[in-house]
């Protein structure tokens, strides 16, 4: 039973009353849920693009110089006779990273779930600025299309790594790419605008639009994580935009920010990029951690272990994340003393992450574990992210970084935290909130098969990369067999490639499940996961306006599972009023409207 506060008088008039056309409702929607779903479809498309690029990379690394099956459709400038050219290979590695980081993982975690979950989990009717929110989506889509167009330019896509180091990226005569490099800068500026608009919305909504009773420390960890992530975004993205504009100017209007011949500094780019880049990777993991917390508590039927520690760990990670960027530059030629300071901060940032892992274990400890698909993927996240986080310690220790920097060991680390971490969390989140988005359930047995097959093929793909990295295989090289010292481990590249092809194929199970269930999935009951969150007090799919014109009351924290206050059941929703509960006083001025 939910108790709902009376609708507050709204002087602005209610835009929800006017009937909306198809375009207003589904295309140019200002409803945060529709916007979240739009982000979902577009980002899954870019995830597919990133995956296709990865398949080509793995082909070349496993079978250097061999014609690729299907490669005949590529133009001669990329792969004559299906043989991937070196200049195309470096476009592949560059754009794989670019699409995955900026147009797949970031929008999937933030564009989708910050948009979809924040108002629902706080009891709000929508975001603070719905129209700016709509612009945030369309700008992100525009940025993605601009970036994609790079491949269709006469001299191809950018190719200096997703990290775009200068002078390579600033000098078309040295890189070979002109137009698409400028489009990269423009795309990044547009994407940054999208991110900042989104962040402004998320931050304002969390601060101002919490339902009565939703105090700061009753917010779910997913919302805490998305809130902190939004702060990171609004501060970090503009730095990248600035750097991208400086790069664009160096290429087009004759400035020399990064040109050493004219007094510029190549290292300036690295400092700017990584000052953005390190908070960016926390943007790519914190929302995942937050959602995983919600799901593990739900799956364990237990409160999250150490809720306050978890909040402080999120804040600690975000704060420390601003002062570790130089660990990407240990070999760059910057003053080694700076290396020492960055090493200290980097080693320390391992601590709050460790705290979170132990708290997830603590949540599972003595629980009643239900292994639904989201729970399986969330546990997979914990296992795989732990490996990724621990491998980071090797690099943080600067002398050990010397042999492993810019090798496949780093690539292994990146993929353990971004795939083993963020992507598993996304499989969990997509499955968990699917009924809220679409009113149907994804197929459970298929989801379980997808999880186990993914877990196996994923580890087969990425774990051996640690080994070939230790063996010295450098990043972004077109043909490892050029080097005598790498020839003995080439068989591992073959193994990794086959595993990667299998991993990619397995994802079609998820894609099929996702698309098929839209139409044919089991109709979702009201609260399919017996979850405590506010969103589950609404029908599935959630209606436009959420609880409008009413606002829910919140009586407790988000993780009251197996509470002694409600022994007839093992969950206690935040909105359920017990006889001993009193209605909260509205905490915010706008009252959630």
Partner 1 sequence: MRWWLPDAGSTFAGPIDTMFTVILILTGIALVIVEVGVIAFMIRYRARPGGRAFYTHGSTRAEVIWTAIPAVTMIVLGLVSNHYWVLMKDKKSIPANATHFGVHAKQFEWQVTYAGADGKLGTDDDFTVRNQLHIPVNQPVAVELSSEDVIHSFFVPEFRVKQDAVPGMHITAWFQATKTGEFEIGCAELCGMGHYKMRARVFVHTPEEYNAWLTQQASGGAE
Partner 2 sequence: MKVRIFSVVGAMLMLTVCSKGDQRTAANAASRTVDTTAPAAAPAAAATTSAAGGTISGKIKFTGTAPRNPAIDMSEEAACKAKYKTTPTEENVVAGPANALANVFVYVKAGVPAGQTFTAPTTPVVLNQDGCRYHPHVFGIMVNQPLEIKNSDPLLHNIKAIAKKNRPFNISQPNAGMQTSRTFNAPEVMVNLECNVHGWMKAFVGVRPDPFFAVSGADGSFTISGLPPGTYTIEAWHEKLGTQTATVTIAGTETKTANLTFAAH
Residues 135-164 that bind partner 2 (CB under 8 A): 154
Burial of 18 (0-12, 13-18, 19+ CB in 10 A): exposed
Decide if residue 188 touches partner 2 (CB under 8 A): no
Which does residue 83 bind out of partner 2, partner 1, none, counting CB within 5 to 8 angstroms by kind?
partner 2
User: Should residue 434 be labelled a site residue for partner 1 when binding is judged by CB under 8 A?
Assistant: no
R_g of the chain, CA atoms, integer Å: 24
Task: Give how far the C-alpha of residue 250 lies from the chain's centroid of Cα atoms, to the nearest Å.
Answer: 31
434: partner contacted, choices partner 2, partner 1, none (Cβ within 5-8 A by kind): none
Q: Which does 302 bind (CB under 5 to 8 A by kind): partner 2, partner 1, none?
A: partner 1
267 near partner 1 (CB under 8 A): yes
Containing H/E element for 552? strand 551-552
Out of 18, 173, 567, 580, the residue judged to bind partner 2 by CB under 8 A? 173
- Binder among 27, 52, 207, 331 for partner 1 (CB under 8 A): 331
Which residue reads 């200290």 in tokens? 344
DSSP assignment of 260-327 equals GGGT--HHHHHHHHHHHHHHHHHHTTHHHHHHHHHHHHHHHTSPPTTHHHHHHHHHHHHHHGGG-GGG
Of 47, 74, 219, 248, the one binding partner 2 by CB under 8 A: 248
Distance CA 318, CA 549 (A): 36
CA distance 507 to 511: 6
Whole-number Å distance between alpha carbons of 480 and 538: 55
For residues 488 and 250, give the distance between their C-alpha atoms in angstroms, rounded to a whole number.
43
357 binds, among partner 2, partner 1, none (CB under 5 to 8 A by kind): partner 1
| 65 is a contact residue toward partner 2 (CB under 8 A) | yes
Pairing of strands 551-552, 4-5: antiparallel
- C-beta closer to partner 1: residue 354 or 453: 354
Q: Which of 112, 100, 180, 176 is nearest to 146 (CA)?
A: 180
In whole angstroms, the minimum distance from the beta carbon of 375 to partner 2 comes to 47
Residue 255 binding partner 1, by CB under 8 A:
no
From partner 2, partner 1, none, interface partner of 160 (C-beta below 5 to 8 A by class) = partner 1
Distance, CA of 190 to chain centre: 18
Looking up tokens 């070939």, which residue turns up? 468
Among residues 3 and 178, whose Cβ is nearest to partner 2? 178
Q: For partner 1, give the closer residue by CB, 237 or 379.
A: 379
Q: Is 397 in the site for partner 1 (CB under 8 A)?
A: yes
172, interface contact from partner 2, partner 1, none, CB < 5-8 Å by kind: partner 2
509 interface partner picked from partner 1, partner 2, none, CB below 5 to 8 A per type: none
> Between residues 301 and 544, which has the closer beta carbon with respect to partner 1?
301
Q: Which lies closer to partner 1 via its Cβ, residue 91 or residue 115?
A: 91
The residue among 66 and 215 lying less far from partner 2, judged by its C-beta, is 66
Cβ-based nearer residue to partner 2, 172 or 528: 172
Q: What is the dihedral of CA 119, 121, 14, 29, to 10 degrees?
A: 50
* CB closer to partner 2 out of 172 and 472: 172
Closest to partner 1 by CB, 281 vs 486, is 486
154 contacts which partner out of partner 2, partner 1, none, CB within 5 to 8 A by kind?
A: partner 2
User: For partner 2, which stretch binds (CB under 8 A), given 91-99, 177-185, 312-320, 531-539?
Assistant: 177-185
Three-class secondary structure of residue 155 per DSSP: coil
Decide if residue 544 touches partner 1 (CB under 8 A): no
Residues 189-248 that bind partner 1 (CB under 8 A): none
Q: Report what 7 binds from partner 2, partner 1, none; CB cut-off 5-8 Å by kind.
A: none
Residue span binding partner 1 (CB under 8 A) among the ranges 17-25, 103-111, 256-264, 432-440 = 256-264
Q: In Å, what is the CA distance from 499 to each residue of 92, 204, 221, 435?
A: 19, 44, 35, 32
For 484, the token pair is 């005598």
Report yes or no: 300 and 364 within 8 Å, Cβ to Cβ. yes
Candidate ranges 2-10, 169-177, 388-396, 542-550; the one touching partner 2 (CB under 8 A):
169-177
Here's the x/- map for partner 2, 252-271, by CB under 8 A: it reads as xx------------------
Asked if residue 341 binds partner 2 (CB under 8 A), the reply is no
CB atoms within 10 A of CB 154: 9
Query: What length is written for the chain?
Result: 593
Q: Residue 335 half-sphere exposure, CB side, CA atoms within 13 Å?
A: 3
Closest approach of partner 2 to the CB of residue 179, in Å: 6
Rounded Cα–Cα distance for residues 559 and 302 (Å): 7
Cβ-based neighbour number of residue 298 at 10 Å: 26
- Of the candidate residues 48, 83, 87, 135, the single one contacting partner 1 (CB under 8 A): 87
Q: Which of 533, 491, 584, 578 is nearest to 121 (CA)?
A: 533
Shortest Å distance, C-beta 155 to partner 2: 9
Extract the tokens encoding 518: 């839209």
Backbone angles phi, psi at 5, to 5 degrees: -70, 155
- Residue 493 to residues 39, 413, 500, 501: CA-CA distances in angstroms? 34, 17, 10, 12
- Footprint (CB under 8 A) of partner 2, residues 450-509: 478-479
**Peptide bond preceding 549: is omega within 30 degrees of 0, i.e. cis?**
yes
Q: Is residue 242 at the binding interface for partner 2, with CB under 8 A as the rule? A: no
Q: Which is nearer to partner 2, 186 or 587 (CB)?
A: 186
- Closer CB to partner 2, residue 173 or residue 568? 173
Q: How far is CA 427 from CA 46, 75, 372, 442, 518, in A?
A: 16, 35, 12, 11, 16
- The 26-65 site mask, x for binding partner 1 (CB under 8 A), equals ----------------------------------------
Asked if residues 428 and 295 have their Cβ atoms less than 8 Å apart, the reply is yes
Q: Which is nearer to partner 1, 161 or 439 (CB)?
A: 161
| Among partner 1, partner 2, none, partner that 564 touches (CB below 5 to 8 angstroms by kind) | partner 1
Of partner 2, partner 1, none, which one sits near residue 451, judging by CB under 5 to 8 A according to partner kind? none
Is 77 a binder of partner 2 (CB under 8 A)? yes
Q: Which residues contribute to the site for partner 2 (CB under 8 A)? A: 65, 76-77, 80-81, 83, 85-87, 154, 172-173, 176, 178-179, 182-183, 186, 248, 252-253, 478-479
């Amino acid at each position: 039973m939910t108790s709902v506060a009376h609708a507050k008088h709204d002087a602005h008039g209610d835009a929800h009353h006017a009937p909306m056309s198809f375009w207003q409702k589904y295309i140019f929607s200002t409803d945060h849920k529709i916007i979240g779903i739009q982000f979902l479809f577009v980002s899954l498309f870019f995830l597919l693009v990133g995956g296709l690029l990865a398949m080509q990379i793995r082909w070349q690394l496993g079978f250097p110089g061999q014609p690729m099956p299907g490669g005949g459709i590529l133009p001669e400038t990329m792969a004559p006779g299906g043989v991937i050219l070196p200049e195309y290979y470096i476009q592949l590695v560059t754009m794989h990273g670019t699409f995955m980081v900026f147009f797949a993982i970031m929008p999937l975690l933030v564009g989708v779930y910050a948009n979809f979950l924040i108002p629902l989990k706080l009891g709000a009717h929508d975001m603070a600025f719905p129209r700016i929110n709509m612009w945030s989506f369309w700008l992100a889509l525009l940025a993605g299309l601009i970036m994609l167009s790079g491949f269709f330019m006469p001299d191809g896509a950018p190719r200096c790594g997703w990290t775009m180091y200068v002078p390579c990226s600033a000098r078309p005569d040295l890189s070979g790419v002109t137009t698409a490099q400028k489009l990269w800068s423009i795309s990044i500026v547009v994407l940054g605008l999208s991110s900042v608009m989104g962040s402004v919305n998320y931050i304002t909504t969390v601060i101002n639009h919490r339902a009565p009773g939703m105090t700061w420390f009753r917010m779910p960890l997913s919302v805490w994580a998305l809130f902190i992530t939004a702060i990171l975004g609004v501060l970090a993205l503009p730095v990248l935009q600035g750097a991208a504009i400086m790069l664009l100017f160096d290429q087009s209007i004759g400035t020399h920010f990064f040109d050493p011949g004219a007094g510029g500094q190549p290292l300036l780019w690295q400092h700017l990029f990584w000052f953005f880049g390190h908070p960016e990777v926390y943007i790519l993991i914190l929302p995942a951690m937050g959602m995983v917390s919600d799901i593990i508590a739900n799956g364990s039927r237990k409160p999250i272990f150490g809720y306050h520690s978890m909040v402080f760990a999120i804040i600690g990670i975000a704060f420390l994340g601003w002062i570790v960027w130089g660990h990407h530059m240990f070999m760059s030629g910057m003053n080694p003393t700076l290396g020492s300071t960055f090493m200290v901060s980097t080693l320390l940032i391992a601590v709050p992450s460790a705290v979170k892992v132990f708290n997830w274990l603590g949540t599972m400890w003595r629980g009643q574990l239900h292994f639904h698909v989201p729970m399986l993927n969330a546990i997979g996240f914990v296992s795989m992210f732990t490996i990724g986080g621990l491998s980071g310690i090797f690099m943080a220790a600067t002398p050990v970084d010397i042999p492993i920097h810019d090798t496949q060991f780093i690539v292994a680390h990146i993929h353990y935290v971004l795939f083993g971490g963020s992507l598993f969390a996304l499989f969990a989140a997509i499955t968990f909130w699917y009924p809220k988005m679409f009113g149907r359930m994804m197929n459970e047995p298929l989801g379980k098969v997808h999880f186990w097959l993914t877990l196996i093929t994923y580890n087969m793909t990425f774990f051996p990369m640690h080994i070939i990295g230790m063996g010295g295989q450098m990043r972004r090289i077109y043909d490892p067999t050029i080097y005598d010292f790498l020839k003995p481990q080439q068989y591992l590249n073959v193994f990794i490639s086959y595993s990667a092809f299998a991993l990619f194929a397995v994802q079609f199970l998820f894609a099929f499940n996702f698309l098929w269930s839209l139409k044919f999935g089991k109709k979702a009951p009201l609260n399919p996961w017996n979850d405590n969150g506010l969103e589950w007090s609404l029908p599935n799919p959630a209606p436009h306006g959420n609880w409008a014109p009413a606002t829910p009351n919140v009586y407790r924290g988000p993780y009251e599972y197996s509470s002694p206050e409600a022994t007839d059941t093992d969950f206690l929703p935040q909105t359920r009023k017990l006889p001993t509960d009193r209605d909260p006083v509205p905490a915010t001025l706008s009252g959630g409207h």
